[in-house]
Structure formats: structure tokens, C-alpha cells
Chain A
Amino acid sequence: MVQLPTWTALGPTLVLALTAVVLLLVDSIDPDTTNNELLAGVAGLGSLGAVVASAWYLVGGTGMPGENGELITLFGDQLIVDQMALFFSFLIASVLTLVVIASYDYMSEHRYQAEYYSLMLLAATGMTILGSANSLAVAFVALELASLPSYALVAILKTNKSSVEASLKYFLVGALSSGVFAYGISLVYGATGSLQFGAVASALSEGAPVGLLGMGILMIVGGVAFKTASSPFHFWAPEAYEGAPAPISAFLSSASKAAGFVLAFRVFVSAFPMDAVGTTIDWVLVFQVLAILTMFVGNFAAATQENVKRMLAYSSVGHAGYVLIGLAALTGDANSYVLGSGMAHLLVYGFMNTGAFLFIAMVEYWDVGRTFEDYNGLGTEAPLACAAMTIFLFSLAGLPIGGGFFSKFYLLSATVQTGTWLLAASLIINSALSLFYYSRVVKAMWIEDPASGLEIERYPLGLYTAVIVAALVTVLLIPGFGMVSETAETAATLL
């Protein structure tokens, strides 16, 4: 077999970036007409290509030191392609594919099609680079590449007030937190004299100014918490997710959150190892506080919502809290197991949460309404879609009809192995609470009587395909969870 040059390891990222450019090219050939099928087709093929490429590399063991290859670092150690980067490329590209397929119907009557798709692909490019970033500078650039298109995407419905308002809020908070993040980076640079993760870590082991470094790390925590919509930096999330077009909410709450987490995993494990900075700043403790706070805030707020999309937005905050366990339980024993549990939950969550938001997109497409009551009796009109939604919701809650059960159990066993009982207790309490509000939607869809005049005439093919594929994957992740957990744990071990 021909040995490919090492830069091809960035395949998924390159495919995404190239597709974004092609989309703009296609549009500039004839800017006055919009060929919806062509644009959605190109975007779909591009994102699917990225899924296939990353899956191919994952299975082939790219970036795995051993027989098949070695750890791949590029551009003077600025980028790294390992199993973790590929795992997240796969996750981000999968979510993107589902969202693109669904957008074909959802956006069919809107303008700015080419811009819509290419912005989404550019954001995804940024997110995958974030997964490969091996230096604070690249991380910052990638973060901006992921964020700037997101602000525009939230506001893509230009005439819709809440969409624009949500985007403005998102942008203001985002700009502020980017500033904080950049300042944090500069402080760390001041303390250690380097930006590359490995170099930062080795500088730390030789001793660094305590106050400067501590402030820097805290600010980086803040930047990460913003990107992952973790408490107390989550305030933008419900607004943005609610105001944005639902496919974009799906994209942001699944893929963007995952990108934030991969950055956090890599920065804190490889640049700020606990044995070097533990005495300066105990970031594990910080994340423990954040995790518990985020779980409770997200779930309790979700339980009080009347609007389904907003409920899902808060539940997405709650899930960020669960994933934070992946950092908060890094107490020294079983580190790769703990990290792996966070990664596995993100992957499963990626499918079930995207599916749930895409179902909301479908409901918006039908123009049914937004509150729980508006969902009454939907099961009689659209049983297949509602069955899929039921799977998403129960899986999100952690019932064993979807992979969410196993990924939550994985997190639970990680807390047990490390003896972080407080995290275990919050996970259990919040999962129980979440079943309450998720099942309200199920009850509305199936058990409540439909409002008079509820009638659904259009069954959009693209949205249906995306929702059903997501549901199938969610269910198949029960028998197939072994593959996810193994890959995640291997990836975490190599970090």
C-alpha cells in the first residue's frame, strides 16, 4: 500500500473546508438563482465524505503509535492527529450530515442557501481543527473559526426578530469570552514562555509564576465553559438555541459543545497536567464544582419550562454537566477511563440530541407551535416521527431504549472508580429529575388528545430521513456501545 503523505491525516478537515469553498464557487457562478438541490447535495456529500474519512482513519488506526503508524503531528507540532481528534471529527461530521439533510426541507423557502451551507461547513471545519489543536494559538484561531460562522447562522432568519436577538446575545457573550480566553492564553504564555501544549507542560514542571499561571488557567476554564455552555457561562445557550433555526440549534448544542469539550480535554490533560499545576490551581476541583452546578442548573431550569425547544436547550446545559464528569473525576486513578466516559457520552448525546432538535425543526416546519400543549396528540398525526422522538427523549433521560443509558452508566462507573461520590449522586438525582420533564413531551405526543384542527399534510423527506437515521443510530448504540466505549478509551489512553 502506498504510504500517504502525513498531511492527508487531516482529511476530514480538508474535505469540510474544500466543500465550503465549492459551495461558494457554485453560488458565485450564478448568484441570482438558487439551486437548492445542488447546494444541499454538495454540502451533504462533503459532510458525508468527512464522516467516511474519519471513520476510515479511526478503524485503520491512524495516529495510533504501533504497527500501523505513529503519532502524527503537523506544522511544527501545532496540530496533532490522534484517535481523539478523529473520534471528534467523526462526531462533528456525523452531526453536520444529519443537520444538512434536515436543512434541505427546513431552509427550502429561505434565502441565502449557499451562505447557510458554507457557513455551517466552515464552522465544522473550525470544530474539527479544535480537535486537532496542539497549541494555544491554533486553539484560539480554530475557536474563532467555529464561533464566527455560528453567530451568523443563528441570525440566518434575518427577518425573524428572535433569531436576530438571539444571535446578538450569543455574539456579545461570545466576544467577551473570546477576549477572556485570549487573555488567559497570554497569561499562560507569560508564565511559561510557550504556546505549544507539550512545551507548556514541560515549562510548568520546571516551575512557573504561580499567580500568573493560576489566573491564566482560570480564564481558559472560563472560555471552555462558555463554548460548552456550562454553568455559570451558559446564559447565552437557551436564548441562542431557542431563537436559532432548529437545525442550527441541533448543530450548536451537539457539535459545538463537543468541540468545546475536546479542546478542554486536550488542554487540561496535555498542557496543564495535574501533577505539575495541582499545587498552583486544582482545576479538577474547579471542574467538580462546575459539573455539579451545571447539572443542577440545567436540569432544574429545564423542568420549569413550558416551551419544548427551551426545555431541550436547558437539558443540553444539563448534559454538559454530565460530560464535565470526564474532567472532574480525573483524580489520578483510571484517568483514561474517566476521559473515555466523557467522550462516549458526547458521541451518544450527539445523535440523540441532534435527533431531538431536528424533531423540533420538523414541528416548526409544520407550524404546530412551541409549547408542550401544542404537541398534544402529535402521535396520531405523525406516529413515525413521534416514535423517533420518544426514543431520543427516553435515551436522553437514560432509559435503556437508547445508547444514552450506557453512556450514563459509563459516567457513573467512572465516578465510582474514582470515588467521587458527590458527582455520582448528582448524576443519579439529575437523571431521575430529567425523566420527569422529558416524559412530559412523550405524554403530550401520545397520551393527550389532539387540539382540534391539528392536521399535518406535509411529510418532508429530508427531515424524516435525518430524524429516523438518528433514531436508528441511537437504538443501535445499545448493542453497539462496545465499539464506542472501546474507541473512546483507546483515544483517551493515547492522550
Chain B
Amino acid sequence: MVAVAALLAVTLLGAIATFLVDDEHAAKFATAVSTIPLVGSVAMYYVYLTDYQNVGNALLSPETVAFRQSIDWIELGGYTLQYSVGLDGVSMPLLTLTGVLTTLALVSSWTPIDERQSQFYGLMLLMEVSLIGVFAALDFFLWFVFWEGVLIPMYLLIGIWGGPRRKYAAIKFFVYTNVASLVMFVGFFALVFSLGPSVSSFGLPEIAQALRGGAVLIPVAGITAAQLKVLAFIAMFVGFAVKVPVFPLHTWLPDAHVEAPTPVSVMLAGVLLKMGTYALLRFNFTMLSDVATGEVTAILPFSMPVAIAVIGVFSVIYGAMLALAQRDLKRIVAYSSISSMGYVILGLVAFTPHGMGGATFQMISHGLISGLMFMAVGVIYNETHTRMVGDMSGLADRMPWTVGIFVSAAFGYMGLPLMSGFAAEVFIFLGSFGATETLGSLAPVLTSVAMFGIVIVAGYLLWAMQRTLFGEYELETDYELNGAAFHDVAPLAVLLLLVIALGVAPDLSYGMIQEAVNPILDIGGGV
């Protein structure tokens, strides 16, 4: 199947063409180009739902993966590097999410982006190419090329089109993510090289199967196999945790979000953060499931799953508390992302069907909702030119559509039933509450504490909305408020519909997600 290759090639050519289009037409051109991967990924999603059964997990049963293509690429020191792609129930929804969010983000750029447009839109499309690649790649090198290919456009997008402190934010983003990549890279290769002759390629499925099939790790420099596994797990966890981000590696995120222009924030929160949790799922929790479940402890004086769960739950509460303390609407949404991603960590580490399925579902759900929230804040900012809670009030009268959708999205964030956030969080809590195999007697305690996060979310969102959207109309800036343009509001409406659709019928993607995560649990000995 060449579907993924076609998607990559068309988007790449579109990106290059966009660089050559003049500024005036770049916006419309790029949006038109982005509809190709949009339609393509939605069509693939549809084909997946109708034509593929029993796909399983991309790493554990690579033969049955959907849209699979594999071509030998480079021979290096006895290892084969391959162009190898394929989709399973975890990567398929994320790929479609990328297609949907990119097009909507491009539409939402029409108003705020008014300089160097062809470069802006070209970089956005270039980033989309890499994101598609990250989710589809099944070979480490292919995956890593795309992984870094996301970071460089993002760095430039924040650095060139960002707010007043854009330079600081861009550098911080670049340094954090590259150091993280390096740590992950070293951890991963310590693992692969010590697998020695049991693997003959850098294909993720082969490595995952070797590790889970009990391949012997060659001890190096006095480090035993078990210790090596634990060290590699920690290195990769730290590398990916920066991306997610979890406490205490999160400090780049608020800066990046606040300085980035709205459409870039949408991509950052909507898709880029998911790269971290996606990679955690693929690498840490699939390949090294024995470390993730606490079966292999080696040098650790504590239980690995409990430690990770504590980090996740702490991120939930800490992120929410930080959000509570903010006055900038964008900062509020940015910190609440840290909180939401904490749930993903908790769900993953529970290592139960609903925990892991819910975590994956939360990736999709949070991608849609946080994208929607950032976009809504962006639309309000476009009109009012302020994001400070104290500077405005009573916007509901002047921009009813935007405010209506904003309020709905906020309720989605708080976990209102029949919206996707509710489904995701319920699955996660169901999964983690009974996760006694990995979290022991702490499982109910940790889950209850995490649930309390929702109360705080409700607190800061209701407080912010009450002050800005309702009451007497008042605006501290010198701009007249005339309601947003149709093309600004339309993406919001589309996202809201998707959020509701997934909330009403979670099985649109939950079924395929379950199919993909269950094999991870089977061999790993989960519940």
C-alpha cells in the first residue's frame, strides 16, 4: 500500500510549492493543499473502519498492520534500515487528527498572520509532513528523521511569528526538545546495541518483539541486563516526558504557548504534545513493558509504575493549580494542557485495557478540545487585542457565536458527559482505579486524587469565563468589537462538532484503539 507514501509526497510537494507562492496567495493556496492530506487521512480512516479487521498492534503484529509498506533503505554494520510505515488503532486516529487540525489551524491563520506568509504556511505544511511521518513510521531511523523534522519548523514558527518574548521561547523550546531527543537516542541505542545479534534491523516491531520475546541483553561495562533495561527506560521516559510535558520538565510549554501565534499553539497543543505520549506508548510501554509494570526492578528502590503514576497525578494537580493562578487566557489553557496530559500518563501506567485505551482516547480528545480552546482564545484576541482576564468582560453580547463555542469547549474540558473529554476521563479512571497489579493498593488513592483535578479545572475555567464573557461589556483596549469573521468561527464549530461526535459515539475510535492496545497488555501480564 502506498497510501502513506502518497500522503507524505503530496504534502511535501505542496509545502515546497507554498514556499514559492507569493505572500498574497499563500494562505488560500496552503489551505487548499492541506485539504489533500485532510481528505486522504479521513478516507484512510474510513477504509480502516470498513476494510481492516484484527489489525492488532503495529509493533507486536506487524504483518497485519494497515496501509503497510516496507522497502529496504540502508545497510549499516549488519543492521538494515527500512522505509517502513503502517498504521494501527493508535496511530490511525492520531494521523487523522493531524490532517484535521492542520487544515483548521491554517484557516485560523488567515486573520492573525500578516507577514512572511508563504514561509509561514510552507513551514506549517512541512511540519504536517513530519507529523504524518512520526505517526506512520515503523522504523526507528525513519521515525527519528520525522521526529526532528517536526522540531525545526516549530522552532522557526515560534521564533519568527511569535509574540514579544518569541526569541527566548523559541530557544527554550529548541534546547529542551533537542536535549530530550539526545537523552532518548542514547537510551534507545544502549538498548538496541546490547540486544546484539538478536535484531538485524532498526525496525520498531522487530526490536519490540525481541525485547518482549525475552531476548538476552548483553551486559556492558558491568551493567547487568536488568539494570540496562531500567536505565534505558528512564532515559527514554525522560526524553519523551519533556515532550508531553510532565512535571518538572514542563517549563518550556507555557513560554512556547504564550509566545506562539494562535495556529502554532493549536498544533503544539493539539498534536505535538501527543508525539510525547505516543512515543511513550510505543517505546516505554510496549517495548519495555516489563519495566513499566514493575516486573523488572533491578536497582530501583521503588516501584516504577507507582513512581510514574505519582508524576502523572502530580502533573494533573500541579498543572491545574498553576492554571488557577494565571490571568492570561492563553496561559490558563497552556497550563491546563499539562494537567490533561497527566491523565494520559496515569492511564498508560495503569496498564489495564481501559487505562491504556482511555489514555489513547484522551490523546485524541485533548487534541481536539485544546485545539478548540486555543483557537477560541485566538479569535477573542484577534478582536480585542488582549488576553488578560481583567481587561475585558461581557464579550458574550458582542460575539455570541465565538463565546457560545468557547463555553461549550470549556465544558468539554471539564468533562461534561456526551463530549469526548468525559468519555476519555471515565475510561482512564475506570482503568486506573482497579489497576492493583501495577499500582498496588495505591491505585484507588491515586485515581481519587487525579479526579480532584477536574474540580480545579472547573474552578479556573468557570472563574475565567464569568469574568471575561459575562456581565457588563467592558474592554480596556482601544479596539471596537465587531464579532469575528465567518472563517474564524467556522473551524471552531467543526472542532466542537467532532468533540461532541466522539463524546456521543466514542466507539468511532475507541474500538480500534482497544484492538491496538490489548496485545500490549496480553504479553505484559496486565489485568
- A residues lining the B interface (CB < 8 Å): 334, 337, 379-380, 383, 390, 394, 399-401, 405-406, 409-410, 412-414, 416-417, 421, 428, 432, 435, 439, 443, 446-448, 478-479, 481-482, 485-486
Contacts and interface: CB of A to CB of B under 8 A. Distances in A.
B167 A443 contact: yes
Contacts of A334: 77
Contacts of A443: 159, 167, 170-171
Contact of B73 (A405, A446, A482): A482
Contact of B119 (A383, A413, A417): A383
A446 B148 contact: no
Nearest to A391: B152
B148 A399 contact: yes
Contacts of B79: 413
A485 B76 contact: yes
A429 to B, nearest CB: 10
A481 B74 contact: yes
Given A421-B221, A443-B171, A394 B152 contact: yes
A391 to B, nearest CB: 10
Contacts of B149: 400-401
B508 interface: no
Interface of B: 19, 73-77, 79, 81, 116, 119, 141, 144-145, 148-149, 152, 156, 159-160, 166-167, 170-171, 174, 178-179, 182, 186, 189, 193, 221
25 contacts: A337-B77, A399-B152, A399-B178, A400-B145, A400-B149, A401-B149, A406-B76, A410-B77, A412-B189, A413-B76, A416-B193, A417-B77, A421-B221, A443-B167, A446-B156, A446-B159, A446-B160, A478-B145, A482-B74, A482-B75, A482-B76, A482-B81, A485-B74, A485-B75, A486-B75
Report which residue of B74, B79, B182 has the largest number of chain A beta carbons within 10 angstroms of its beta carbon. Answer: B74
Contacts of A439: 174
B77 A413 contact: yes
Contacts of A447: 156, 159-160, 166-167, 170
Contacts of A405: 145
A270 B492 CA distance: 70
Contact of A448 (B145, B152, B167, B174): B167
A439 B159 CA distance: 12
Q: What is the predominant secondary structure among interface residues of chain A facing chain B?
A: helix
A334 B144 CA distance: 26
A456 B189 CA distance: 46
B76 A410 contact: yes
Contacts of A380: 116
A439 B178 CA distance: 11
B175 to A, nearest CB: 8
B42 to A, nearest CB: 29
B81 to A, nearest CB: 8
A439 B189 CA distance: 25
Contacts of A414: 77
Nearest to B149: A401
B157 to A, nearest CB: 10
A86 B182 CA distance: 35
Contacts of B73: 479, 482
Nearest to A337: B77
Given A447-B166, A485-B76, 4 more contacts: A337-B77, A390-B152, A409-B76, A485-B74
Contacts of A486: 75
Lowest 8 A-B CB distances belong to which pairs? A482-B74, A447-B159, A400-B145, A400-B148, A413-B77, A416-B193, A399-B148, A481-B74
B77 to A, nearest CB: 5
Nearest to A448: B167
Contacts of A394: 152
Given A421-B221, A447-B159, A447-B160, A401 B148 contact: yes
A394 B149 CA distance: 11
Contacts of B152: 390, 394, 399, 401
A380 B170 CA distance: 18
A390 B156 CA distance: 11
Contacts of B119: 383
Contacts of A416: 189, 193
Contacts of B166: 447
Nearest to A436: B175
A397 to B, nearest CB: 9
Nearest to A440: B171
A481 B77 CA distance: 13
A432 B156 contact: no
A490 to B, nearest CB: 11
A453 to B, nearest CB: 19
A472 to B, nearest CB: 12
A486 B81 CA distance: 13
Contacts of B179: 432
